Each structure stands twice: as structure tokens, then as C-alpha cells.
Amino acid sequence: MRFRTSLAAALGALALVVTLPTSANAATGEFAFTYERDGKTIEAKLKDPEGGECINLDQVSDPSTTPANNPRNRTNSIATVFSDLDCDGDAAPLKAHSGYGNGSVIFRSVIFDQ
């Protein structure tokens, strides 16, 4: 009798785990940065960015443009910015919730450790 009760409990737990929705692999919050366009400084933001995959910033993906700078990480994840596309080149990690870099931190891609 104990075996059947234990088996039923185990199967019930498995059914719950299988039916629960998986959480999205995203960092929660906002990642802001600035870039130059036609002599003007523009601020851009990524809201709830995907975690665990490299994000090339569209605004600065053309090698002839000036890289982004002044990153502000207001997500719940560590953000690492890279000087080149595809998360290559010099890297600078920014802590979760309050990590930031000044104008000397230039980058074209970012990844969130989520």
C-alpha cells in the first residue's frame, strides 16, 4: 500500500512540474545606453532583454558608426558589454540593478547573465 501511495505522489508531483510554464529566460528591468547620430547624443533602452544570448545593438552595428557608451544596467542580471559585435573584443561587466560605465566604456554588443 505504501508503494502505491508513494508512486501516486511521485506521479502527481511530476505532472505538476511538467505542466508549469517555464519562465522566460529574460533579465527583468532596463538597460540604457547612449550613442551618437548626426552629431547628436541619443539614449536608447533595452527593456527586459533576453538573457544568456549575445545582443548586437542595432544602433551601432555598422562598423562605420561610433560605438555606444554610458551604459546603465538597471536589470536584475549582470550585463557584460563588449567592444565588438557578437560579444567579442574588450569586455566590461556591469553589476545588476546599478551597474554603469562612463563615456570611456564603448561597446557594440551586450550579454545578460540570466
Over the stretch 30-52, which tens digit does the pLDDT of each residue have?
999 999 999 999 999 999 999 99
Residue 64's φ and ψ, nearest 5 degrees, are: -80, -10
Residue 14 has pLDDT above 60, yes or no: no
Q: What is the pLDDT of residue 2?
A: 55
Determine if the pTM surpasses 0.85: no
**Per-residue CA distances from 22 to 1, 10, 30, 37, 91 (Å):** 34, 20, 22, 40, 30
Contact 49, 71 (CB under 8 A): no
